[in-house]
Amino acid sequence: MSDRTSPTNPPAATIDRRAFVRAAAVAATAPLVSPVWGTIRADDRLKVGLVGCGGRGTGAAVNALGADPGAVLWAIADVFPDRIDRCITQLEENANPEQIALPPERRFVGFDAIDQVLASGVDVVILATPPGFRPAQLEKAVAAGKHVFCEKPMAVDVPGAKRVMAAAKAAKEKNLSLVSGFCWRYSSPERALYGRILNGDLGEVTAAHSTYHTGPLGISPRKPEWSDMEFQLRNWWHFNWISGDIIVEQACHSVDKLNWARNNEQPVRCLGLAGRGNRSGPERGDVFDHFTAIYEYADGSRSILTCRQQANCSNDNTDWIAGTKGLAFVNGWAPNQTRIEPTSGTAWAYSGPTPNMYQVEHDELFKSIREGRPLNDGDFMAQSTLMSIMGRDAGYTGQMITWEELMNSTQTLGPSVLEWGPLPEPVIPVPGKTRFS
């Protein structure tokens, strides 16, 4: 669904047909009580807005409709009309048509199109644009009093992450649900494993290593009529100001699991090694193709993230967590490999169900809204994003960065005004020369 040719994120990230079948079955058995809208009572509707109609946004919309028979996709927005058209075609093939209410006047285009979605009467908004836009869009959604599903990562720079923290706090105060796309937090094997770790089954965590090793992402070759802004937006995952680079955009999932194992403990400092030996050409922008980030905690223990997007290399997505009482292991791409091997006693392996985590995110979000028990992922979604930014900037600069230095960073990425037209040539960082600011 995305223009990208290799998976950037856990598999099955987009449309799930089972979600549609389930929603359709539930909707078909719903009682017909007046007033009705299709088979859905008007006063039972939860109106959903979608901002960012690409692969994940379309998939998340299908998940939202599958989560709640009263959910209705009410308004959508994107910067490109062709993405809206493609999204609607895919929705029509994959979702219950009675849950799609998108007349032309509720299809909005442009950088500010989110404002029109928020003003259209939606109850819930899905934020699935690239992460460079997330802080401003999340702020707006919470200020407008909407429940939110927002994709990961949450920001591309520290000031942006702070705006996300403030918005998450405001959501809590307003009793709004805020669920993040850090989807492993909604995956049953990982919940069982990390639950055991947080329960003390491994003793004290002493070391961890998480991998996100995959191939390069596809490109959209430049067309003569495209401005710099259109060119970069259509290749956004190759531009740091929009994506945050591969460690923030993609490997943040693995950073989040390192963070999960330590129960959101802040690392005191981070050392990074990184480069982009296999990237060239304007479409490849300024992002690197590999990072190692070594997070050090107050007790001297370390958690290490390695990530890579290079062709013809071995791929892997695993977490190893060592504790004073044993070793835990999980392979995110092979959910039957989730185990704890204690130094003494019986080993444990996950053998329960593995429901689609993308569906679970929305099932739990809509349940929380219906029951008036708001969920709020704010703490870990902000900290895992900050840790990813820390690893990126440690890699870019070649310097050790402390948490305090990180939190004092004032660097904001990207243009101050979003408009179609020219953009400065991206500057590729050089470790040892690039300064942290």
Report the nearest approach of ligand NAD to the CB of residue 425 (Å). Answer: 21
Report the nearest approach of ligand NAD to the CB of residue 216 (Å). Answer: 15
Dihedral in degrees, nearest 10, Cα atoms 278, 246, 307, 269: 120
Cα distance between residue 208 and residue 120, in whole Å:
46
186/403 with CB nearer ligand NAD = 186
Report the nearest approach of ligand NAD to the CB of residue 150 (Å). Answer: 9
Token pair of 305 as six digits = 């993230």
3-state secondary structure of 349: strand
130/323 with CB nearer ligand NAD = 130
55/69 with CB nearer ligand NAD = 55
Where on the phi/psi map is residue 217: left (φ > 0), alpha (ψ -120 to 50), or beta?
A: beta
108/366 with CB nearer ligand NAD = 108
Residue environment code for 223-255, b if the CB has 16+ CB neighbours within 10 A, otherwise e: eeebebbbbbbbbbbbbbbbbbbbbbbbbbbbb
241/350 with CB nearer ligand NAD = 241
Q: Which residue has the tokens 């992922």?
A: 377
Report the nearest approach of ligand NAD to the CB of residue 346 (Å). Answer: 33
Report the nearest approach of ligand NAD to the CB of residue 41 (Å). Answer: 31
- Which residues sit at the interface with ligand NAD, rule CB under 6 A? 2, 8-10, 13, 51-57, 77-80, 83, 111, 113, 128-131, 133, 151-152, 181, 183, 233, 249
In the bound state, the residue with its beta carbon closest to ligand NAD is 54
78/289 with CB nearer ligand NAD = 78
Report the nearest approach of ligand NAD to the CB of residue 244 (Å). Answer: 9
Q: Which residue has the tokens 């992002």?
A: 287
Residue environment code for 7-24, b if the CB has 16+ CB neighbours within 10 A, otherwise e: bbbbeebbbbeebbebbb
The answer to whether the beta carbons of residues 3 and 79 sit under 8 Å apart is no
